[in-house]
Amino acid sequence: MPTDSKPVRTYKVALFLVAAALAAALSFGPLFTLVRTGRPADYYTHVPLIPVVSAFILFKRRKRFFRDESNSPLLGIVALALSAGLILADILMSPGLISHAELRVAGSIFLLCGVFLALFGKGAFRRALFPFLFLVFLIPLPLAWMDHVVSALVTGSIGFTHLLLRAFRVPFFQDGSVFYLPGFDIEVAQQLAAPGESLPLGRSRVRPAIVQ
């Protein structure tokens, strides 16, 4: 019975794993420092989960992603050149904490993409595009951008909570981000709306109300 699957060459997978280890070594230091000392700390709690998810997807679908096809050395060289440029810029500029992590992580991602393209080709890269794109969430945004993102999440959380309470006909009084319900109140706090937290309702903080 015909099949479109092709064998996976072990040496190619081994080379990609070496590139993944190199990318991890290049980006670990800046990301670890950012997660440990970055402020506000809530902005970076999602960072450790991103590579785990991408690695799991690549491993789970390895037979589909790592099929032996014609490679794309030219595209791989372009991506590797971008990687080298970003890492060199990081070394020469000696930027601040966030910019250091941005340049180093972006360079590491381009390194992975370049090696994958050179080894497995653009067809395989298209199939494996999601786990590579998901790694982009490792790149920290400037604080000003993150503040706008969090403000938008807070606004969305407030609107979602309002609609949910009305849908269930729960009596409440709203004062900005605080919802007063019989016996307790719910506050949608900005600290709990960071990108690393859960869904909007999960960001709500429940506090006992003072009963007179």
Instruction: Say if residue 21 is in the same domain as residue 79.
Output: yes
DSSP single-letter state for residue 131:
H
pLDDT tens readout for residues 63-100: 888 876 678 889 999 999 999 999 999 999 888 888 89
Q: Average pLDDT, stretch 184-197?
A: 61
Instruction: Say if residue 117 is in the same domain as residue 163.
Output: no
The answer on pLDDT for 191 being more than 60 is no
pLDDT tens readout for residues 17-46: 999 999 999 999 999 888 888 666 667 778
Within a 13 Å sphere around the CA of 115, how many CA atoms are in the beta-carbon half? 21
Domain membership flag for residue 3? no
Q: What is residue 5's three-state secondary structure?
A: coil
Q: Average pLDDT, stretch 123-139?
A: 92
Domain membership flag for residue 39? yes
* Per-residue pLDDT at 211: 42
* Per-residue pLDDT at 142: 67
State the residue range of the domain holding 113: 10-140
pLDDT tens readout for residues 43-62: 777 888 999 999 999 999 88
Q: 105, 140, 175 — which closes off a domain?
A: 140
Domain membership flag for residue 126? yes
The answer on pLDDT for 157 being more than 90 is no
* Cβ pair 78, 118 in contact under 8 A: no
Instruction: Say if residue 44 is in the same domain as residue 102.
Output: yes
The answer on pLDDT for 3 being more than 50 is no
Question: The whole model's pTM is what?
Answer: 0.68
* Cβ pair 174, 164 in contact under 8 A: no
